[in-house]
Amino acid sequence: MVRAGEPDPRKRLEKRVFHNAQRESIPYRLFVPKGYEAAKRYPLILFLHGAGERGADNEAQLVHAQVLCLVSGEAAAKHPCFLVAPQCPDKVKWVEVAWDSKKPHHTPAQPSVAMRLTLELLDALEKEFPIDPARRYVTGLSMGGFGTLDACLRRPGYFAAAIPVCGGADDSRSKDFAGTSFWIFHGGSDGVVPTGRSRSIYHLLKAAGAEAKYTEYPGVGHNAWSKAYNEPGLAKWLFAQHR
């Protein structure tokens, strides 16, 4: 959350649109660290929003702006980094699966259109900016929590760390998450995405030998992100992760 008296960091995220060679496009917002040096390498955070923020206005994806505490204030001073927030189109998901099922889903053979374009966008940003390939991070809430885990499967070992908030994963693929560190969050009283989805993938990740942490907030519903992104030590943990 933005601290009292601090400027709203959303105003510092440039509005952009990514176009690929096939003339497909996806809008996104980009946070660029002040005074970055081309000779250095900086972390990149990919933020995937929830279902309610889909569209094409290039603004709604930042409605829940708690994640921006990672690029503002003390965190920005200690850990300058890039943050990219694409906007998923209406009627599309980051990963085309049901969110309310208590049973784990199976990863679709192909990424959704939004996920494919997002991964292409990341490749383009790495050509434009000095991104550190050892410090790529991904996080998302709700639909974006599912997308966070799906992105890790689409590119094994690409992300050094992932923070899925009230999401779910393909439990059968737990061994394929090797090489990425996880801090998973969920509300204990989530009525939208069953809390068991996060519990199960956490236990399977631990059993597979992955580095994983799990924080559950008793009595908290679906908006666990309001606490998760303000969790003490989150920024320190995130920026300590390297591939």
Summarised one tens digit per residue, pLDDT across range 125-161 is: 999 999 999 999 999 999 999 999 999 999 999 999 9
Structure tokens at 143: 């639909």
Condensed to tens digits (0 to 9), the pLDDT of residues 32-73 reads: 999 999 999 999 999 999 999 999 999 999 999 999 999 988
Candidates 180, 201, 75; CA nearest to 138 is 180
Instruction: Map residue 14 onto helix, strand or coil.
Output: strand
Domains of the chain: 9-239 (3.40.50.1820)
Strand 82-86, strand 25-31: pairing: antiparallel
From start to end of 65-130, where are the E strands?
Answer: 82-86
68: helix, strand or coil: helix
Q: Which two tokens stand for residue 140?
A: 């998302």
Residue 162, both tokens: 């992932």
Contact between residue 100 and residue 194 where contact means Cβ atoms under 8 Å apart: yes
